[in-house]
Structure 1
Amino acid sequence: MPVALTLAGPDAEDRARRHAARVDAYATPFLERRNRGEKHPVDDFLFTYYTLTPGQMRRWHPGAGVVVTGAQARERRAWKHYRNLTEAERDSLGLSYDDDAVTVDVEDFMARRRGTVEFVVEILSRTASRAPRLGCFGLHEWAMAYRSETNGHRHEYLDLRLGADGTDAVVEGARISCSHIDAFRFFAPEAAPLNELQPTRETQRDLEQPGCLHANMDVYKWAYKVIPLLPSELVADCFELAGRIRTMDMEAAPFDLSSWGYEPIRIETPAGRAEYVRRQQGFMLEAQELREAVLASLRASTGVSGPR
């Protein structure tokens, strides 16, 4: 990939510091809670459900096509998927042979992980192209807590806002239409047959759609799967959107989060369902912008176009 931008040492240092501080605002409280043995039903999710660690997230990457010089270049010499500039590249940028200068090694990344890039481009492209489904009302969390007196539920330290019987009644009286495999796979056994769709890992790329909160949170997952091809600022944008969506996801869930300061979205009522759809639409638009930004960056750096 041709070099598009050179970041001088001080500029790279500044961006790296800003990124680390941005991540620390989320990671430090999480690590402190973990050391105390405490749980948070909303904020822990970004570091427990998703697999990128705080340390990995904190590392700043400029993205493909960017040359970094100075101390940040020296540090990255030992990092995977980085390379020193060739003599011709140095000449074209006016850098001497003695200058520390590295860039993301796109060819090496693609040689090792082309399948990952192709899958990410495909699933993001397919999701972006579909019409949204806005009638799920967050019932996936209720389906996970169905028949909790028999099965328990994923958040045993949380009380059910309507109690076990009230939660079951909402599930039994609702139309459940979850399209996301990584929500559906946690349904209580008795709730799974109630879902209009039966998502599988094999049908994931055919079912994900832009109205789904989980698909929109997962823009973050697909972004970090292709680190260091994307600039860390874009990955962090996806991370922060996932966090805000998670907040809504749990506000619409059947759990009582009042002690954590969250007001419920009462999806068992018409007003609550209307509120859910309103906020769902807003997140859909935000996620679509980030989805397109990730796709544009990957297409430009790798040449993988995927379906359009």
Structure 2
Amino acid sequence: MPPIHTTLTEAEARERAAAHEARLRPVLDPYLAARRRGVKQPVMDFLFEYYTFRPGRLLRWRPGLGIAVQGDEARRWLREPGFVETPEGVTVDPARFPAHRIPSLRWVVTLLERTAARRPHLGCYGLHEWAMLYRTACPRHAHVPLRVKPEALARLVESHPITCTHFDAFRFFTEAARPLNRFQPTRETIHELEQPGCLHANMDLYRWAYKFYPWVGSDLIADAFLLAYRIRMLDMQASPYDLRAYGLEPIPIETPEGRRHYRQRQAQFYQEAQPLRQRLLQTLRTLLELAVINAPETTERVA
């Protein structure tokens, strides 16, 4: 029997689903309308290209581990992987978590634990976006103008220490910029380098949440998505791109005032991300414990 700590009536579940959709629509509807027109949006495109959870799945509410829902509407979820019917209602069953994914789940739990335990580093100033444009004629967002000239961009990259610890940001550095970084992250060193002040590490809470949907519920996934959305805006505001046409005023990290502003915002996001990381960790630890009980023999594999 799956462990259940909360039972919702059909009406209560419907209210939660409506509230879930209502908080996401103001962010998603303009993006979806622009996408239908074929208009690129460098902030939101990242959240659905680099991250792969589709908008339709993000809008669809599911309760997550430990919550049972009564009623005919919930019974339709039985056609989806992971759900079972119990005397309390329909719920997601950790016994149905695929055994071959347990090593990946364990890898993510370890990553989140080690990241949470480290002190935040708040002095990167978003220079990773500048390093992705250093000494190159092929910017990643070619349709967006730059707000600084290439010579000024190069001077900033060369005159400030780059301390990027996040592999999935570092791998987009230009070849000329990589030797300038204090760290040389690889896939193999992610557990050793990931730290909780990093904007991308905190955006990635969204990835680690939806990766284990529907065992991770939609409310937690939405919290992680909305945090990632706000962090992504800061990421782009501090970049060399001119995004005023998209309603984003630059944060000029090339100035002392801009760097102070960036560091303050980065610290705020660190404070917001830590309790979210702990909530996700608690859910994934429970899922891992219950999944291993039901499938004790697995072949190790990283995420």
CA contact (8 A) 2:69 2:90 kept: yes
Deviation string, structure 1 residues 38-60 (Cα, Å, up to 9, x no partner): 01122322122211001121221
Q: In structure 2, what is the Cα distance between the partners aligned to 1:196 and 1:228?
A: 39
Q: Is this contact kept in 2: 1:116–1:226, CA < 8 A?
A: no
Corresponding residue of 1:5: 6
How far, CA to CA, are the matches of 2:12 and 2:72 in structure 1?
A: 11
Q: Judge conservation of contact 2:196–2:270 (CA < 8 Å) in 1.
A: yes
Pairs within 5 Å for 1:216-295: 216-295=202-281
Q: How much has 1:112 moved relative to structure 2?
A: 4.3
State how far apart, in whole Å, the 2-side matches of 1:105 and 1:297 are.
13
- Give the drift of 1:259: 2.0
Which residue of structure 2 lines up, in the alignment, with residue 32 of structure 1? 33
Aligned: 1:117 with 2:118 = no
Q: In the TM superposition, what whole-angstrom CA distance separates every residue of 1:90-145 from its partner, at most 9, and x where no partner exists?
A: 2xx5xxxxxxx311011111534212221221111110001111111100000001
- Alpha-carbon distance between aligned partners in 1 of 2:66 and 2:188, rounded to the nearest angstrom: 34
The aligned residue for residue 103 of structure 1 is: 91
Tell me the matched-pair count. 289
* Percent sequence identity over aligned pairs: 49
Superposed CA RMSD: 1.5
Whole-angstrom CA distance in 2 between matches of 1:184 and 1:167: 17
Structure 1 unmatched runs, 5+: 94-100
The residue number in structure 1 matching 2:57 is: 56
- Partner SS state of residue 132, structure 1: coil
Q: Which residue of 1 aligns with 2:297?
A: none
User: Would you say the 8 A contact 2:20–2:59 is kept in 1?
Assistant: yes
**Given that residues 65 and 301 in structure 1 are in contact (C-alpha distance below 8 angstroms), is that contact kept between their aligned partners in structure 2?**
no
Q: 8 Å contact 2:205–2:277 — kept in the other structure?
A: yes
Q: Distance in 2 between matches of 1:69 and 1:296?
A: 25
> What is the CA–CA distance in structure 1 between the aligned matches of 2:182 and 2:28, rounded to whole Å?
38
What pairs with 1:136-175 in structure 2 (closer than 5 Å)? 136-149=124-137, 152-175=138-161
Corresponding residue for residue 97 of structure 1: none
TM value normalised by structure 2: 0.91
Residue segments in structure 2 that go unaligned for 5+ positions in a row? 291-303
Hey, what does 1:211 align to over in structure 2? 197
**Counterpart AA for 2:38:** G
The answer (yes or no) to whether the contact 2:84–2:91 under 8 Å persists in 1 is yes
Hey, what's the Cα distance between the residues in 2 that align with 1:260 and 1:108? Answer: 43
- C-alpha distance after superposition, 1:55-107 (max 9, x if no partner): 1212211111111111332210101111122xxxx2xx5xxxxxxx3110111
Q: CA separation in 1, counterparts of 2:248 and 2:28?
A: 21
TM-aligned CA deviation for residue 245 of structure 1: 0.4
For residues 191 and 185 of structure 1, the distance between their equivalents in structure 2, rounded to whole angstroms, comes to 10
CA distance in 2, matches of 1:56, 1:140: 30
State the match for 1:127 in structure 2: 115
What is the TM-score when the length of structure 1 is the normalising length? Answer: 0.90
1:195 aligns with 2:181: yes
Structure 1, 113-122 or 202-211: larger mean CA deviation: 113-122
Is this contact kept in 2: 1:23–1:54, CA < 8 A?
no
Cα distance in 2 for partners of 1:203, 1:260 equals: 36
For residue 166 of structure 2, what is the aligned residue in structure 1?
A: 180
Residues 75 and 230 (structure 1 numbering): CA distance in 2 closer, same or farther, change over 3 Å? Answer: same
